[in-house]
Every structure is written in structure tokens, then in C-alpha cells.
Amino acid sequence: MTELTFDVDGPVAWVTFNRPEAHNAMTWAMYDALEEACRAVDADRSLRVLVLRGAGGEAFASGTDIRQFQEFASAEDGVAYERRISRVLDRLERVQKPVLAAVEGFAVGGGAAIALACDLRYCTPDSRFGVPIARTLGNCLSAGNLARLIAAVGPARAKELVFRARLVDGAEALALGLVHEVVERSRLLDRVREVAREIAEHAPITLKVTKEATRRMLARLAEVECEDLLREAYGSRDFREGVAAFLDKRPPRFTGE
């Protein structure tokens, strides 16, 4: 089974995260395939919109597959990981056509980061958004991912979401500005398809330059150097404990070391 699929429906390209048995947790291969899909959409002038979704109905994407973090031996591995994911999300953000996220179920951790790198987000009432890393792994957000969250909800709300490690449902996500519309599960894909085709009829250059101008303005939020903070988080005993506890399906015992 292909972990990420790419399909074309007229002017709309659909990328599906296809690991429903793992709540569409992202593998390295899936991140690479997402980057390749972005290049394919830009290279095809007949494509006007890209839509991302998750298979199975239980999750858009539940973040990076935590088992891969067992390979980390030092803080530098964490920094390299965040650089790699930042490259993929930056490429997603730089797609020259509008990108929509159709969210069913969980969009947490790296899944929330992917959704935030999209231009428009639509979800079901029972969707769940959040970055519960303070409760789970004990790592941290990259400057780019934190900047996107701040751009969506503001600095105070961004800190509250991270500090409390809570997940918000569709209604609260809409109130916070995380999503643009909440749609019943039975209608979500039809609604996203309808919006995508509406956008596909509009002037491509207007959409492209508006998107790029917005990206350049918001990129200033992510200019601050934060790799020392990544090293502190990923090099900590707490991070190693968080990964072990997650895989053991037990609560972590954080000590601040």
C-alpha cells in the first residue's frame, strides 16, 4: 500500500496521507513524497489547486511516527530532524497554487504543522487540533512551525495551546482562527472539492502573487535563530523519556533535565 497517494481531478490535485492503521503518522518516505507532490503541482500548469487529506476518517495526520525518534542519538539529530521537516513545510508553503487541508479527526503535532502550512483549512466538528508536546514528548516547535501557529491564533493563544497541551475541536478551532469552516463529516470532501473548483476558476497570477506576498510578510516571524533551543529540547533526558513513555504507552516522568 502506498503511504501517500497523488490523484488528479480536473484542475485539482489530491494528496492523501495513507496510513490509516497508524492514524496517518508521517514516515520519512511520506515527507519526501509530500515534497515531490509539491514539485509536481507546480510543474503542471493545468493544476490550479492542491488538497491534502488523510485516509480512514480518523486522522488528517497524527504527526511524525514516533518510532523514528528512537534513532536519535544526540541533540544534533533533533536539529537535523527539524531542518528536514522545515524544508518540507517550507516547500509546501511555497507551492505557487492555493493549498487546502481537509481535516477529519486528528491533526496534531506534525499533522497540525502540515495543516498550518496550507492556505485554507476545513474540518469536521469532531476534528482535533493541537501540539501536545509538553504532555507527550518534551520536545519543541521549530521557529517556522511556532511562527505559523502564532500567525493563525496570536502569541497568547499559541502559548496557551502549547503550555496546556490540549486539543481543540472544530468549533473552537474555528473560533481561534485555526480553520476557515466546519463541515459535517458526510459533506467535508464535497465542500472542499466545491471550494477548490471555485478557486480554480480564478486568476492564477492573482492567487500566486497574493500567496507569495503573504508568505514573505509572515516569514519575518520565523527569522529568529532558535537552533540552540532545539538542541536544549532534543538533547534533554526529558525528550528521551517522552519517546520511551509514548512507545510504552505510559505517562512520561518529566524532571526538567
Domain spanning 4-186 has what CATH number?
3.90.226.10
Work out the number of other CB atoms within 10 angstroms of the CB of residue 46: 9
pLDDT at 76: 92
pLDDT at 179: 97
Average pLDDT over residues 167-174: 98
pLDDT in tens, 33-81: 999 999 999 999 999 999 999 999 999 999 999 888 888 888 998 899 9
Residue with cell 503518522: 25
Average pLDDT over residues 81-91: 94
Task: Report how far apart the first and last C-alpha atoms of the chain are (Å, whole number).
Answer: 41
Q: In what order do the strands lie in the sheet with 99-103?
A: 4-9, 12-17, 49-54, 99-103, 120-123, 181-182
pTM of the model: 0.94
pLDDT in tens, 216-257: 988 887 777 888 999 999 999 999 999 999 999 999 999 999
Residues linked to residue 17 through DSSP beta bridges, in sequence order: 4, 54
Q: For residue 168, is pLDDT > 90?
A: yes
136: left (phi over 0), alpha (psi -120 to 50) or beta: alpha
Q: For residue 1, is pLDDT > 70?
A: no
Backbone angles phi, psi at 106, to 5 degrees: -80, 130
Q: For residue 26, is pLDDT > 80?
A: yes
pLDDT in tens, 92-150: 999 999 999 999 999 999 999 999 999 999 999 999 999 999 999 999 999 999 999 99
**Cell representation of residue 65:** 511516527
Q: Tell me, letter by letter, the H, E, C secondary structure of the chain.
A: CCCEEEEEECCEEEEEECCHHHCCCECHHHHHHHHHHHHHHHHCCCCCEEEEEECCCCEEECCECHHHHHHCCCHHHHHHHHHHHHHHHHHHHCCCCCEEEEECCEEECHHHHHHHCCCEEEECCCCEEECHHHCCCCCCCCHHHHHHHHHHHCHHHHHHHHHHCCCECHHHHHHHCCCCEECCHHHHHHHHHHHHHHHHCCCHHHHHHHHHHHHHHHHHHHCCCCHHHHHHHHCCHHHHHHHHHHHHCCCCCCCCC
222 compared with 200, residue with greater pLDDT: 200
Q: Are 82 and 142 in contact (CB under 8 A)?
A: yes
